[in-house]
Structure 1
């Protein structure tokens, strides 16, 4: 499938697939372990295969899409997205922040932000020290979401047992009043790991495409599938240890081990 460049800078890149359609899905590169290069953009077939155009945004470095090229990217996105009847987005962690930061330029109507940050500025989020290296030299004015709020609807998905993610989620929903904070206990970071392991991640994309009429439905699906997720049980074991509940922790570890062993058995080895 042909990729069409929308913006090509030294630090930011935007690539689209099937741009002539009337509805647009936007995805974002999340924080990577070894930054410094752009990835090859690939279409998200769950959207492209169902009549949507797809736009993928990347930052070469882990800078939360805030750098000297941000304003130029915003101007290009505002021009590019003017043709679409709907623009929806999904972003994980840094990508979730990127969706919020660029929501106005993208003309977002609907968003699913998964374990996003409200900021990485130490003055704004002094409680979160995870991203202090990336925050060095960060442009706090350009990165401020307070004055970039929009009426975008949708969901912010967080694991409430990840207190830093929960704090960011609450700040985001205060600033973006039409977003709903949805708790996915022991989902991890990102909070949708159990949903993915439970085979319902495609359902998430369908919900986003079809309107996400009830954001809390994501929480209900999480509850249905979490018992089949090794990640869920590992996180539950960790939480139980924090709360000095050794029996629960041991039981959860046992469930996680059983699911791991089940997954490792090849079909030919099964009776």
Structure 2
């Protein structure tokens, strides 16, 4: 695979394009990382390239939710650089899920698959969600407003663990702004809500759903339901939930199942 074409090269934001001759466009975003401050080496998603997609990967150097002094310049650059592509889809996790929504208009996205995304990190928008407050100091209210910058006609699916209350509140707020986005509830999967699917080796199947959108939220839920049977993550989280709800019998069975699965994988 040839090196990507650098579409935008800033101090804070970077965008690289693999297989620029593809007829369709797939966009991915770097998610929030534990230690920020440097760009990562981008890698192509070969399954999309094999399906005649160009692959654009967008990174933010810091965990700033892609809202900074270079955001506007990035938007103008992408709008010009990506002319001519047909169907445009994107996938994003957490911070990357927010970025897909925030940049959906300039990217002219038609369909997205978002895993545990935030609607915002601004305290005036999500006063109930303080998880990422440490990253919100430079987050400009208007510049980060999805109602202003997002493409309202955008369709897609938000994958979310219904037992993660903060993630669910963000998901419902996203649905208010983007009425064509549905919810796929993947219970006891945590954050991000694709962990059970990854553990079961079903993540490629999840990606393939974007080859021919729209993605059915129900199909994602069925994929998760089949994967959870053999997922130690699922059974451990179910045991924790059952304990909180004082379901001792269920907690005991679930933890036993989690332990057995953990041993089999070891």
TM-score for the superposition, normalised by structure 1: 0.95
Structure 1: unaligned runs, 5 residues or longer: 265-271
Kept in 2, the 8 Å contact 1:81–1:107? The answer is no
C-alpha distance in structure 2 between counterparts of 1:72 and 1:36, whole Å: 20
Are 2:15 and 1:14 aligned? yes
**Which deviates further from its counterpart, 199-208 or 52-61?**
199-208
Deviation at 1:250, TM superposition (A): 2.1
Paired residues in the alignment total 264
1:149-228 map, 5 Å: 149-150=150-151, 151-228=153-230
1:253 to 249, 252, 255: 255
C-alpha distance in structure 2 between counterparts of 1:154 and 1:5, whole Å: 28
Deviation at 1:138, TM superposition (A): 1.5
Deviations 1:124-154 (A, max 9, x none): 1011010111011311110111223421111
Give the match for residue 117 of structure 1: 118
Give the match for residue 108 of structure 1: 109
Q: Which runs of 4+ in 1 moved over 4 A?
A: none
Structure 2: unaligned runs, 5 residues or longer: none
Give the match for residue 89 of structure 1: 90
Structure 2 counterpart SS, 1:141: coil
Kept in 1, the 8 Å contact 2:103–2:150? The answer is no
C-alpha distance in structure 1 between counterparts of 2:176 and 2:187, whole Å: 21
1:44–1:100 CA distance, 2 compared to 1 (3 A): same
RMSD over aligned CA atoms reads: 1.1
C-alpha distance in structure 1 between counterparts of 2:253 and 2:176, whole Å: 38
Kept in 1, the 8 Å contact 2:113–2:158? The answer is yes
